[in-house]
Structure 1
Amino acid sequence: MYGSEKMSQAYNTNMPRPYRMSRPILLAIAIIIFLGYASHSAWQQSAQPDLRTTPKIDLPTIPKTTRLHTEGRILDPFESLDESTAGLVEDIPASSTQQVAEPTPSSQSTNTNSLALHDETLGAAGEGTLYSKIGKVTMLYYNKPTKDSFWYEKALSSQREHNLRFGYKQFVLRTEIVPEFFSKQAFILSIMLQELAKPTAERLEWLFWHDVDLVLVNAQIPLELFVPPPEFSHIHHIVASDLNGLNAGVFFLRVHPWSLRYLSAIISYQDFHPDKWLRYQEQTAMEWLVQEWEQWGRNTTHVPQRWFNAYHNYGTDDSVPAEWEWKNGYHEPGDMLVHLPGSGDSRPDLIREWMDRVQNEPKKWVLALADTSYEKNVTEFWRKDAKKEREVQDTYWRRWHLLIELGSHEDDLRREAVKKAEQEAEEQDLSDEMRQEKIKELKEKYKKLKIKHLRDAERVKMKEEGLLEDNDDNGETKHENNDS
């Protein structure tokens, strides 16, 4: 009772009125989930784990006839499919098209493991019962097993070596809690409540959320490396942005009452902001919230994307001013993981490709921490860049809006000009070589114009914000000279 009153006081003191209204509902949901854990947990911790025994990887969502057993053994998570196993995967019905994380129509669905409080097949054996103070959280559920879901399970199993090495508990949600992707925040909230109910010394200190569409490439990199030093104790949320803004596929949350309020605000965002369009559902809700500086932004830090959210290299747009450094953080050898958002139907193939890379070229991709630039970059970030969080975010969003508005307009003009030039080339019966050369010159012209117009527009915006004097043209002149 005392704990409940104390939590209630914290909510009443810190939460704005709209978010307080949702508290009773959210707490009721959390209590139901917590009771569900007690009766459906898939994990029982042994007192003395046998370190000589490899943890069994059981794929509960794949029928026994298609489980990944070969001659009585279970495949290593980094083992490629060869002729001996490919046939087993072919047994999965190809006509089944359900996607990962689709709503499960019935609580009796055979693929559901209820809420896996701690997945022992992926959890830490560690040294005895010694676990890290960081826990991993993810979700993977679907209506029927498919070839795609098979590779998602393989991607999830790539976490195993990392968990074993550093003692990370792996929490896996195997069934939907609330509609759409808000199950992510609901699941994290339920774990956060359980941890805060424990004595301080027994709690996890951080939760590391990761989507299932990623491959843990380099198991030599500890998550502890990325949490803020003591002087940044006010930072409770660590995220990485891509070119579309905040990416909710991988992030850290401190086990702290602030995180309870933040998760509650995300889940209830649509109810209290029906006028806001959530382009990427809960990810966009997170993005809107962290732009509210006093309430959420000041406790959030955006870190370099490659730290723990590196992408597969899809190429870089060079029609943006070079000094903006407007590019995704693409994976380089030694990076901890590769994330594959937006890859659509090619995602299972990319998962397989990356797991093959790790298996076939470990010396290239799996580097010791000391052989990477992590320690230097992380130290420099917290020493310098982290102190400029608000300035960096203001700059990011100024440029993002310019690209969405002005940049899109410039791209439309270029496409219209190219289309007109192609028609003229056809009318003039130009050769393919002459036509291609003409189009190339035209694209280059419009690219330079776009870069110039973006720089001009940013200069105007900065003057409006009082960040640039009217006579301060040195930077622009220098860039124009370089471009010419």
Structure 2
Amino acid sequence: MAQIQWRLSRVCFLLFVILLAFVFYFTVFHNQFTTSDGLNQLQNYFSQPSTSSYKDYVVPLDQDLRGESITYHEAEYRQSDPQEPKSHEIVILLASDGQSSGGKIPHMFEQCIENRIHYAKAHNYVFEYVNVSQMSVPPVWAKMPAILQTMIKHPQAKWIWWLDQDALILNTSLSLQEHILSPRRLQEVLLKNTPMRSPFSKDLERMTPEEYSLEMVNTLGLLISQDLNGLNAGSFFVRRSPMMALFLDLWHDKSFRENDVAEHEQALLGYFVRYHPEIAAIIGLLPQTMINSYPVGWPDMGWKHGHLVIHLAGCWVDNRCEELWNEYLERVHCNAALVLELVDTFAANYY
């Protein structure tokens, strides 16, 4: 009996020593148990009342997900701007490795930059470029961290317009507010009772609402169009909000790439739509020709005079990328003088 008590006392003493060691370690080296600054920032934001501002909620990106950024056009704050959102609250984003469509179209990158600077100046939008060549993800997966980086750099933004490099803004007289982004306009143009196509939706199609109230419009975080294959991520708008920052962080999660859930970011978006109704609910579907016209296609997808954008998706199939690029670039140049005249008139009326 005495021997058993002696052994128990040794065990208790040993446990006591281990406990003391743990307390000492935690006290001296407590920094190793603390969360990162970014996580603390996010936790502090979400612990605030819902009425608080969220201008500074976006947390820093990991170093390997940051690219060199250049603001090619900085918008001017104009208090008397009558539009909603105001012009300086819109950011046009290009993120690429600076290559011209794999080197197949000479000077494409420079001409793309010039085209977007011209449009941003005409309407007082921000135009941002992020070089993704140093990021630790393939370029097709780099657009999400590039958008997050832009959210951090431009806290005044309400909407960020992602537009692929192989696209040109043709109708540069159209303002994004008048064409798409004002709440009343969105309520009017969003596709209603329309299936959201996805490579994963053969057994189930998500339908957009039959009607949109203004309250519903204000809950949307992603505005995008679709072609015959599903949602197309060549041109889309992201609202700057905590919800969308979290979604973008999830959208480029490497586990989806490494486990072959989807072959590219566009397909993964279709996966989310099929299997996550809460994500589908924050996506607003726009007619394709409003933001993402193709050179050829059915009437609801092919470019016509007056459309905002031409996107050369699939031009490589017939080896016509350079031919089509130069053809539509000439249309942009022809429209430039008219745009400058319209901008001068607008400025005289409001500023």
Q: Fold conserved (TM > 0.5)?
A: yes
CA deviations on 1:189-219 (whole Å, 9 max, x unpaired) are 1222344xx5xxxx11111000010111111
In structure 2, give the amino acid aligned to 1:356. E
Q: Tell me if the contact between 1:178 and 1:186 (Cα under 8 Å) persists in the aligned partners.
A: no
Following the alignment from structure 1 to structure 2, what is the Cα–Cα distance between the partners of residues 309 and 33? Answer: 31
Aligned equivalents of 2:221, 2:247: Cα separation in 1: 10
The reply on whether 1:283 has 2:266 as its aligned counterpart is yes
Kindly state the Cα deviation for residue 348 of structure 1 after the two structures are TM-superposed. 2.2
What is the match of residue 28 of structure 2?
A: none
Deviation, structure 1 residue 347: 1.5
Distance verdict in 2 for CA 1:310–1:364, change over 3 Å: farther
Question: Residue 218 of structure 1 contacts residue 366 of structure 1 at CA under 8 Å; is this kept in 2?
Answer: no
Q: 1:292 to 1:9 in 2, by over 3 A?
A: farther
User: Please, which of 178, 184, 203 is the counterpart of residue 143 of structure 2?
Assistant: 184
> Which of these residues, 274, 295, 312, is aligned with residue 259 of structure 2?
274
Tell me, in whole angstroms, the C-alpha distance in 2 between the residues paired with 1:6 and 1:273: 29
Match of 2:32 in 1: none
Which position in structure 1 is the counterpart of 2:122?
A: 165
Residue 115 of structure 2 corresponds to residue 174 of structure 1 = no
CA contact (8 A) 1:221 1:368 kept: no
CA distance in 2, matches of 1:300, 1:228: 16
Q: Residue type matched to 2:147 in 1? A: I
- Residue 248 (structure 2) aligns with: 263
Shift of 1:359: 3.3
Distance 1:148 1:272 in 2: 29
Q: Which has the higher strand share?
A: 2
User: 1:204·1:255 contact (CA, 8 Å) conserved in 2?
Assistant: yes
Equivalent AA in structure 2 for residue 139 of structure 1: A
Write the distance in 2 (CA, Å) between the matches of 1:215 and 1:134. 18
Q: Within 2, Cα distance between the matches of 1:272 and 1:350?
A: 32
Aligned residue type for 2:91 = G
User: What aligned pairs does 1:193-232 form with structure 2 within 5 A after superposition?
Assistant: 193-195=152-154, 198=155, 203-225=156-178, 226-227=180-181, 229=183, 230-231=214-215, 232=217
Q: 2:43 is matched with which residue?
A: 8
What are the within-5 Å matches in structure 2 for residues 68-467 of structure 1?
Answer: 115-119=68-72, 123-124=73-74, 132-142=88-98, 146=103, 148-176=105-133, 177-180=135-138, 181-195=140-154, 198=155, 203-225=156-178, 226-227=180-181, 229=183, 230-231=214-215, 232-268=217-253, 270-271=255-256, 274=259, 276-278=261-263, 281-313=264-296, 315-316=297-298, 328-344=300-316, 345-360=319-334
Cα distance per residue 1:122-179 (max 9 Å; x no partner) = x156588995201011123256995624123213321222111111111112242132
Which amino acid is the alignment partner of residue 293 of structure 2?
A
Task: Please report how far the alpha carbon of residue 282 of structure 1 lies from its aligned counterpart in structure 2 after TM superposition.
Answer: 0.8
Structure 1 residues 147, 127: closer, same or farther in 2, change over 3 A? farther
Q: Which amino acid counterpart does residue 326 of structure 2 have in structure 1?
A: R
Q: Give structure 1 stretches of 5+ with no counterpart.
A: 13-25, 37-113, 317-326, 370-484
Per the TM alignment, residue 250 of structure 1 is displaced from its structure 2 partner at its CA by 0.4
Q: For the residues of structure 2 that align with 1:135 and 1:216, how far apart are their CA atoms? A: 14
C-alpha distance in 1 between matches for 2:241 and 2:88: 17
Give, in whole Å, the separation in 1 of the partners of 2:233 and 2:340.
25
Aligned 8 A contact 2:77 2:88 in 1 = no
Could you say if the C-alpha distance between residues 152 and 302 of structure 1 is closer, same or farther in structure 2, counting changes exceeding 3 Å? same
TM-aligned CA deviation for residue 263 of structure 1: 0.8
**CA drift at 1:277:** 3.6
What is the deviation of 1:307? 0.9
Q: Contact 1:228–1:235 at 8 Å: present in 2 too?
A: no
Q: Which has the higher contact order (CA 8 A, sep 6+)?
A: 2
Contact 1:151 1:352 (8 Å CA) reproduced: no
Q: Which amino acid aligns with 2:177?
A: E
Distance in 2 between the 1:306 and 1:135 partners? 21
CA distance in 2, matches of 1:302, 1:184: 20
- State the Cα distance separating 1:337 from its structure 2 match: 1.3
For this pair of structures, how many residues does the alignment match?
Answer: 256
Secondary structure of the structure 2 residue equivalent to 1:249 = strand
Quickly say closer, same or farther: Cα 1:33–1:275, change in 2 above 3 A: closer
After TM superposition, the score normalised by the length of structure 1 is 0.46
Q: Secondary structure, in 3 states, of the residue corresponding to 2:302?
A: coil
Coordinate RMSD, CA, aligned: 3.8
